[in-house]
Amino acid sequence: MTTGSGKRRQPSLSQLRAFAAVAEYLHFRDAAAAIGMSQPALSGAVSALEEALGVTLLERTTRKVLLSPAGERLAVRAKAVLDEVGALMEEAEAVRAPFTGVLRLGVIPTVAPYLLPTVLRLVHERYPDLDLQVHEEQTANLVDGLSSGRLDLLLLAVPLGMPGVTELPLFDEDFVLVTPLDHWLGGREGIPRAALRELNLLLLDEGHCLRDQALDICREAGRKDVPVTTTAAGLSTLIQLVAGGLGCTLLPRTALKVEATRSSHLLTGYFADPAPSRRIALAMRTGAARGAEYHELAAALREALRPMPVRVVEQREG
């Protein structure tokens, strides 16, 4: 004898997408707009899913939409199913032809202006059929975008130490000290790290990994705290603050050619070896369908970046 549950129809992907969107936005209009579906169609799809599953997923009121207890549990399952379908489609696209279709690249602001010209030139010349879409965001947003599937590949400072993320190192670059013209360390070479203990150091706003790196370098030099009285949203503003005599800052070498030429009131000092440095890498989801392409792209980027003032990480791609 067949039970009633055995006669239920299988939910469709369209129904699952509709429910997942409502579960995310808790608003029919916003959910419908997000997936390009009319509100009546969205509501009908969710109702059909409830009928197919035999459970109530939503608690509807005149003002808002809430997930029922069953809806809370099944929303997680629905998202997992849709993620797997997305991975299946990505796998199929990768099998059809490498370096074609869309590649959504996330880049941190302290890398984007200085490396993107090289990245874009490489992609244009070597992978002309690749639709590269660039998103400049801070590290936390980029990592969230990678884990959620909004982004495919990241270009940023590492290590991230994130489970499920594979880092493909590209290069190491030193930091230099940018000072006003009248500063006692201006233009010097062989600056000891201990000098950082006494400097009035200007930093980027919170959220920038470069700020955290600068603070770490100061701590390594034996400085217990860095009083923060002035910050900037970007390196260009930071450099202008230095030129105006408000303090000094640490700048990655790849940014020096662009940023230090913005003012004639700056000098650049170089640290004694080993200079404080950072590592830049590509980051991808571990086991990504297009992983082989990302490894190949990393290898091509290492070669393209050799003329820059960096130390390319020699790594065998296998």
| 187 lies in the same domain as 248 | yes
Q: 0.75 cut: is pTM over it?
A: no
Peptide bond into 159 cis (omega under 30): yes
Q: Which domain holds residue 300?
A: 99-171+279-312
* 224 lies in the same domain as 180: yes
3 is a domain residue: no
Q: Are strands 65-67 and 58-60 parallel, antiparallel or unpaired?
A: antiparallel
| 155-196: pLDDT as tens digits | 999 998 889 999 999 999 999 999 999 999 988 999 998 888
Question: Omega into 274 within 30° of 0, i.e. cis?
Answer: yes
- Cβ partners under 8 Å of residue 286, min gap 6: 164, 165, 166
274 pLDDT above the threshold of 60: yes
Say which amino acid occupies 230: T
pLDDT tens string 275-303: 999 999 999 999 998 899 999 999 999 99
Same-domain check for residues 286 and 161? yes
Q: Higher-confidence residue: 67 or 94? A: 67
Q: What CATH number is associated with residue 206?
A: 3.40.190.10
